């Protein structure tokens, strides 16, 4: 018994073919169902949104090591949302060496990588690398604020292409010029990417202040009356540590002389607190010594003795009779009775 076929389903082995509109030079054969006249607009197919070809096939792998906190996880998810040409992967074990990431990128078919490395569950480092040839840069990430944490207004489309705005200092120093090219290749969405939108409605700004790189994301459409941009997040600060020639290693091209490790910073903070405590203790000891020290006496004035008058000497009385001993009574009530009897004897009238 033949199985029933659902209404509208195709038969097995037969594919549905699209009917094409007859061209001007072709003649329609007579007879049959093709003799009917079909309006041309039924066969017109709208052109695609982007008619160009996807040539710049940059793919960025964004993942992290184990031990990151919730804020880093949200920041990583925000970067994946803003970058449609990014890919995700599972967390890497801390025991693995960093050069293993090149193999992971090759497996994922990615030629750029953003790797978040967590240490001591409080310090966050970011690696930006061009795999597998290099170069790569290591940063200390500070002042992280995610999209959910900022709660800023903004309605930019997901997958839209950003504008990249750089500080003029990036063109003056050679190491900043290298970082600029690395940022352009990683954060810029390739043109005609399948997951991207053909719109430019937000701006990534990279500003250098206090020897650090400040990352901000602004909405490109003008909302305020004074034509100011609206920040939509996320935001973070990158403190450059080193730039390597290879991917996740190799010879050091540049080392930041102004960089101070978090361990050294915490050590200096503890030393400053201890120095303040020691200073307070020394002040207290000095005050105690001042109180205990002998006071400087003023020299005696010889004229002060002139007005002194000697006191009258009292005659010395010698007692030859032993005083009467008082009775030792432990009971207070008996002592009071004895005192009363003595008083009665004294004041008793003679009969």
Residue identified by tokens 């030079």 is: 25
Nearest CA to 146 out of 89, 76, 202, 214 is that of 76
How large is the C-alpha radius of gyration of the chain? Answer: 47
pTM: 0.64
Q: Which residues of the chain have pLDDT under 50?
A: 1-3, 5, 7-29, 31-35
Please report the pLDDT score of residue 33 as a whole number.
Answer: 47
The answer to whether 61 touches 79, Cβ cutoff 8 Å, is no
Structure tokens at 60: 């960025």
Residue identified by tokens 């960025």 is: 60
Strand 123-130, strand 136-145: pairing: antiparallel
pLDDT in tens, 83-127: 988 999 989 988 888 889 999 999 999 999 999 999 988 899 999
Please report the pLDDT score of residue 9 as a whole number.
Answer: 45
Please report the pLDDT score of residue 160 as a whole number.
Answer: 85
What domains lie within the chain, and their CATH numbers?
Answer: 60-265 (3.40.50)
Query: In angstroms, rounded to a whole number, what is the distance separating the alpha carbons of residues 162 and 159?
Result: 9
């Amino acid at each position: 018994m033949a199985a029933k076929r659902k209404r509208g389903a195709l038969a097995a082995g037969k594919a549905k073919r699209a009917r094409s509109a007859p061209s001007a030079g072709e003649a329609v054969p007579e007879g049959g169902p093709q003799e009917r006249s079909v309006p041309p607009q039924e066969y017109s197919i709208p052109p695609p949104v982007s008619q160009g070809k996807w040539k710049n096939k940059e793919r960025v792998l964004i993942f992290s090591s184990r031990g990151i906190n919730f804020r880093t996880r949200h920041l990583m998810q925000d970067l994946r949302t803003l970058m449609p040409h990014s890919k995700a992967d599972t967390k890497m074990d801390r025991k693995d060496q960093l050069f293993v990431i090149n193999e992971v990128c090759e497996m994922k078919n990615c030629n750029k990588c953003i790797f978040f490395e967590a240490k001591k569950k409080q310090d966050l480092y970011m690696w930006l690398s061009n795999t597998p040839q290099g170069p790569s840069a290591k940063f200390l990430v500070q002042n992280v604020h995610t999209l959910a944490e900022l709660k800023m207004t903004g309605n930019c489309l997901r997958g839209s292409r950003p504008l990249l705005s750089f500080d003029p200092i990036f063109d003056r120093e050679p190491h900043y010029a290298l970082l600029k090219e690395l940022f352009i290749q990683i954060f810029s969405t390739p043109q005609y990417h399948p997951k991207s939108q053909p719109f430019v409605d937000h701006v990534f700004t990279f500003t250098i202040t206090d020897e650090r790189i400040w990352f901000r994301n602004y909405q490109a459409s003008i909302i305020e009356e004074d034509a100011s941009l609206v920040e939509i997040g996320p935001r973070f600060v990158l403190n450059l540590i080193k730039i390597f020639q290879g991917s996740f290693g190799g010879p050091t091209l540049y080392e930041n002389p102004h960089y101070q490790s978090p361990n050294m910073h915490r050590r200096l903070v503890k030393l400053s607190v201890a120095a303040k405590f020691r200073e307070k203790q020394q002040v207290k000891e000095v005050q105690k010594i001042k109180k205990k020290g002998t006071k400087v006496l003023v020299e005696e004035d010889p004229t002060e003795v002139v007005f002194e008058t000697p006191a009258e000497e009292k005659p010395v009385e010698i007692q030859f009779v032993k005083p009467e001993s008082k009775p030792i009574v432990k009971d207070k009530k008996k002592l009071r009775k004895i005192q009363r009897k003595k008083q009665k004897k004294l004041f008793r009238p003679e009969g």
